[in-house]
Amino acid sequence: MRPMRGEDIPVVMGVETAAYPHPWTEGIFRDCLRVGYCCRVLMASEEIVGYGVMSVAVGECHILNVCVHPQAQRQGLGCRILRRLLAIGHSRNADTAFLEVRASNRAALGLYSREGFCEVGRRRGYYPLAGGREDAVIMARPLVAGAGSPKSD
């Protein structure tokens, strides 16, 4: 994995639009880089196959995006990106990690549960959905030593 750069954004957008029914815009990625969020790309054979975006502030980190190209999913890469972000958060003195995920996103809920996140709340009808709205599930996990410190690989 390496830091995301501005010139990566067109390729990142290709992965984003292939993986999400409701993708981020290019402007969101540019803003994340501009404000200094932790943005990492995962390379395989010199191609970007996934990435993660996280903010870290006042003892908390917020996982904002974890994404793997559909053709590379279910090979442990999402798990690897997530663990790397959590290790970076831990190294920057965050003691808790938070994230929000669509209630219908079974893959992401499976990944986050497996990695120790628990539901701590919901935002009712937070996300737009074709023909309606759906809840955001708010999840958290501790990063403190003794409570399952994140592994890095």
Ligand X SMILES: CC(C)(COP(=O)(O)OP(=O)(O)OC[C@H]1O[C@@H](n2cnc3c(N)ncnc32)[C@H](O)[C@@H]1OP(=O)(O)O)[C@@H](O)C(=O)NCCC(=O)NCCS
Q: Find the catalytic residue in 100, 119, 126, 134.
A: 100
Q: In the numeric block, which tokens belong to residue 133?
A: 């709205």
Residue 119 and residue 104 in contact, taking contact as beta carbons nearer than 8 Å: no
Does 115 participate in catalysis according to the annotation? no
Contacting ligand X (CB under 6 A), which of 73, 83, 96, 129? 73
Q: Is 85 in the site for ligand X (CB under 6 A)?
A: no
Contacting ligand X (CB under 6 A), which of 1, 11, 13, 19? 19
- What residues contact 19, with CB distance under 8 A and at least 6 apart? 67, 68, 69, 70
Q: Is 49 in the site for ligand X (CB under 6 A)?
A: no
| Per-residue exposure over 96-134, b if at least 16 CB sit within 10 Å of its own CB, e if not | bbbbbbbbebeebbebbeebbbeeeeeeeeebeeeeeeb
Among the residue ranges 6-14, 76-84, 129-137, 140-148, the one whose residues contact ligand X (CB under 6 A): 76-84
Q: Find the catalytic residue in 16, 37, 51, 112.
A: 112
Q: Is 68 in the site for ligand X (CB under 6 A)?
A: yes
Does 112 participate in catalysis according to the annotation? yes
